[in-house]
Amino acid sequence: MRVLLLGAAGGIGSAIREGLAGRYTLMRLADIAPLSAPGQGEETVRVDLLDLDGLAAAMAGIDCVVHMAGVPVEPETNAWEQVLPANIVGVHNLFEAARLAGIKRVLFASSHHAAGFHRRETPTAETLVPRPDSYYGVSKVFGEAMGRMYADKFGLQVLSLRIGAYRERPSDPRQLAVWISPRDMVELVRCGVEAPDFGYATVYGVSANTRTFWDNSAVAFLGYQPRDNAEAWAAEIMAGPPEAPAAAPFQGGGYCAKGFVGDLGRVD
């Protein structure tokens, strides 16, 4: 198995690099930012998501691409202008380069913000319908749609991981539901890389949290069994400040509350 890890210099990318070191024939690490020297079984390559040819070259000889590169939040200012290059143009380039390079499988780092305006009690199957809470969330809907289209039209295997909140530990009430620990994140990616053939799937990337919003039984085919539970921090966190009124009903929390002038009572 030869894996290309895009965004290898980032927070999640670094954890995957460390957690899966030595597991595959090749782990090619790619980022626009500098990377530390390659270890055994590793290669490093400087790549910009805006460079389609460079991306395709980085994918030569690769079986599976793990895409963890891009803008990972809703930027405080000029959100659309900042999200557009890496998360829209770059994600088009990701899938097109994968097609050109004959890649078999792509893991796409989506986000639960692709569906953040769903209410917390919404059944998981319904949350698969996009309901983004930000331009960032819209970019993740775009990435999931690109993955679906490239799976249907070009036969790529694509797994969209709707990652919750990746942290060492949860730090607010909502994260008691959406947290994913570093070791569970690495395990989810390992399962995605190694699972038997599939077509397309969107799954939530979340630890085994008691308060989770999501029934993650859709990940059964991956064999992912999370080990961590945010509940270990519940007493401490629930003794702290409550969530804002416009954040508390929605899965996306603060991303929904930011700039919110909608009708909190409206249900559709």
Q: With binding defined as CB under 6 A, does residue 49 bind ligand NAD?
A: yes
Which stretch, 10-18, 58-66, 215-223, 237-245, contacts ligand NAD (CB under 6 A)?
Answer: 10-18
Residues with Cβ within 8 Å of residue 264, at least 6 apart in sequence: 245, 246, 249
Structure tokens at 200: 């397309």
Nearer to ligand NAD, 58 or 197 (CB): 58
**x/- letters, 77..116, toward ligand NAD (CB under 6 A):** ---------x---x------------------x-x-----
Count of helix runs (H) and strand runs (E) in the chain = 10, 9
Q: With binding defined as CB under 6 A, does residue 163 bind ligand NAD?
A: yes
* Minimum distance from residue 166 beta carbon to ligand NAD (Å): 4
DSSP 21: T
Is 189 within 8 Å of 141 (Cβ atoms)?
no
Is 163 within 8 Å of 185 (Cβ atoms)?
yes
Residues designated catalytic: 136
Q: With binding defined as CB under 6 A, does residue 213 bind ligand NAD?
A: no
- Cα-Cα-Cα-Cα torsion 72, 77, 78, 81, nearest 10 degrees, comes to -20
* Minimum distance from residue 36 beta carbon to ligand NAD (Å): 12
Residue ranges binding ligand NAD (CB under 6 A): 7, 9-13, 31-33, 47-50, 68-70, 72, 86, 90, 109, 111, 163, 165-166
